[in-house]
A and B are shown apart, each in its own frame.
Chain A
Amino acid sequence: MLALVALSVIPSFRRLTAQDTSAIDRGVRIGIIYRPGVRPGLVMLPRTGQGLDSVRAIVARDLDYSDHFEVITLPGGDSIRLSSITGPRRSSAGGTTATRGGAQASLNYPLYQALGADFALDITAAGDTAVATLHDIAAAGIRRTLRVRLPRSSDPDFRQAVHRLADQALQAAIGTPGIAATRILFVKDGKVYQIDQDGADQKLVSSSDRQAMSPAWASDGRHFAYMEFQAGKGWLYLQEMGGGKRTPVSTTGSALDFTPAFSPDGQTLAFSRATEEGTDLYTINIKNNCCLRRLTVGRFSDNLSPTFSPDGQRIAFVSTRPGLPQIYVMAADGTDQQLFAPFDYGVTGSSNAPEWSPDGQSVAFHRDVAGTLQVFVLDVRTRTVRQLTSVGRNEDPTWAPDSRHLAFVSDRSGYRQLWIIDLDTGRIRPLLQQSGARLPAWSPRLSEATSSTP
């Protein structure tokens, strides 16, 4: 399995609990398996009778799924309520503004420290506003108080609002943005669905009865593209999230167009087009519906599955020019085409489905290993690959916006479904409990104006 490289983790962790965290990510980047207790501990304070149980449950799960914390479950749950939080805290929830190092920071800090907590998160309600108070246990004070107006729990925006609250709490604790307010698009039974990253709120988003494939997010998180089989051709459509208005990409419908990918600036769509000559890569300007441009001329080889680097300068793609499909890279204008992920002729299996990480440092893809598919990650700088999975068949990886989580398709549980892996800890969880989901695409961070007091 993965090598344990837990060298300088503990020193940097100490710094984390003290204040800044930007060094953490870099310090523990690749190949690290955290040992239990090395990640900062976080405890969600139990509360009763405040009507925010679902908010607390969602936030606690989001923080757990962020894999940035050891989320500490108090033994016995609510039974461990400590007199020091039940009494005075109620009055603070009544309306007074808790601030950094506030006066009524009367948490029993030594006790939580003994339980291994570095942070404690307390969520209370003030009218329609949720107040999240993040305690810094070591500093024995309040790190930050966040106020978020939440829609009713029946409102379709409710869960995303709660996810954004979780991301704010995470940012307040460790200084990096979270991935709670994100969604994943995927294909099931020929239709495109969206689902929250915590597995809730699955919803059909493709709007026709025709068979669809290959959903892709625009970097603004407000649009997506996908391919649809229609009258013997492959059509590319652009669709607004939520609204559902969809428009065919110009010039599509004459051939088999597939695997759309947005450029980071949202101006360009790269895609594969299969014709009599084989499959090649094209780009089109989707802002002005013009300027179809052919990037590859494969002749006897196919070129497909483009993915932009986050700076928009390069495109990684699949090419069959070495005989089997392998991962190549070129400048975004089609020049300077070269091998990207190294392989051994006659030994290494087919490699497909590349996706460039949002931080630009890695490209995830899958490769045939002994007749089944496994997820690999290419380090862009060193051009070395490492195998990430080995149990069952694992394919079509897609990056979370934090560039440390990947969603992928795996049959490790007996049927094909979506799973999420954290590259830093190796932790794997199923996203869905139903078979047939495939071709996942993880959204960028989905922002919406929220109110918060810093």
Chain B
Amino acid sequence: MKSVSLLLALGLGAGMLAGSSCGKNPPPQTAATPTVDTAAENQRIRDSIDAANRAAQEAAERLRRQREADSAAAAARSSDEVRSTLAAMIHFDYDKSNIRGDDMGVLDQKVAILQANPDLRIRIGGHCDERGSDEYNLALGNRRAQSAKQYLVSHGIDAGRIETQSWGEEKPLVDGHDESAWSQNRRDEFEVTGGGDNLRRP
């Protein structure tokens, strides 16, 4: 903006100069010297117009770059958002592996993300609380991971994109020996195993 008004001001100045030289009746004896002055003056004016143009171009370029950077950051922000939506855990009742009603929405979001990002591959890890038997919990964690996988597959996601794994009670999220810790530990975790670099928002 500033450079544009500068350009206008220079243009106006140049016109005024030209007008004043035409409007007067210069004495003939002094005609030679003003000719020189006018050429230099014209050159100076041209130079300053060029400079102004360059400045304007640079400004526009800066603006363009800034816009590009802004949109890349926005894309990254959205990829991060998608990633964290994808990583949202689901939880289970004690010794159960069925998907709870309040977790279906969480899984539906994952279905949409997997549909919007066809190269994306994930692994679901099933976990248990410490109350059950150590070895039985490996089978239970497997059931929990499979439940989520089956939900995604039944909503159109290719089974080949989803690995499953069970950790039993070996990787508690929260240490503690009460229901608040246990309820957080009975969970499925979702991690990206491939195609997760630039996730598109569904």
Provide the bound-state CA to CA distance between A111 and B167, in Å: 62
Residues of A256-288 whose CB lies within 8 A of B: 256, 258-259, 272, 274-276, 278-279
- Beta-carbon nearest neighbor of B150 in chain A: A276
Provide the bound-state CA to CA distance between A366 and B123, in Å: 33
Question: In the bound complex, do residue A304 and residue B136 qualify as a contact, i.e. CB atoms below 8 Å apart?
Answer: yes
Provide the bound-state CA to CA distance between A133 and B134, in Å: 46
Query: Which residues on the B side are within 8 Å of A438 (C-beta)?
Result: 134
Q: How many A-B residue pairs have CB under 8 A?
A: 80
Query: Which residues on the B side are within 8 Å of A258 (C-beta)?
Result: 135, 138
Q: How far is the CB of A350 from chain B (nearest CB, A)?
A: 7
Interface residues on B, range: 20 to 34
One of B47-55, B79-87, B139-147 at the interface: B139-147
Query: Which residues on the A side are within 8 Å of B95 (C-beta)?
Result: 324, 350
Q: Is B170 an interface residue (CB 8 A)?
A: yes
Question: In the bound complex, do residue B123 and residue A232 qualify as a contact, i.e. CB atoms below 8 Å apart?
Answer: yes
Query: Which residues on the A side are within 8 Å of B163 (C-beta)?
Result: 232
Q: Is B202 an interface residue (CB 8 A)?
A: no
Q: Summarize A's interface: helix, strand, loop or mixed.
A: strand
Question: In the bound complex, do residue A229 and residue B167 qualify as a contact, i.e. CB atoms below 8 Å apart?
Answer: yes
Q: How far is the CB of B167 from chain A (nearest CB, A)?
A: 7
Question: In the bound complex, do residue A278 and residue B135 qualify as a contact, i.e. CB atoms below 8 Å apart?
Answer: no
Q: Is A378 an interface residue (CB 8 A)?
A: no
Question: In the bound complex, do residue A395 and residue B164 qualify as a contact, i.e. CB atoms below 8 Å apart?
Answer: no
- Beta-carbon nearest neighbor of B167 in chain A: A229
Q: Is A353 an interface residue (CB 8 A)?
A: yes
Query: Which residues on the B side are within 8 Å of A274 (C-beta)?
Result: 138-139, 142, 166
Provide the bound-state CA to CA distance between A254 and B143, in Å: 17
Q: A229-B167, A232-B165 are in contact. Are A279 and B139 (CB under 8 A)?
A: yes
- Beta-carbon nearest neighbor of B133 in chain A: A352
Query: Which residues on the A side are within 8 Å of B15 (C-beta)?
Result: none
Query: Which residues on the A side are within 8 Å of B195 (C-beta)?
Result: none
- Having A352-B132, A395-B134, one finds 14 other A-B pairs with CB under 8 Å, namely A232-B123, A232-B125, A234-B138, A234-B166, A274-B166, A275-B142, A302-B140, A304-B138, A304-B139, A352-B135, A353-B135, A373-B133, A396-B134, A439-B135
13 A-B residue pairs with CB within 8 Å: A213-B138, A232-B123, A256-B142, A258-B135, A274-B139, A279-B139, A302-B142, A304-B138, A352-B135, A353-B136, A396-B133, A396-B134, A439-B135
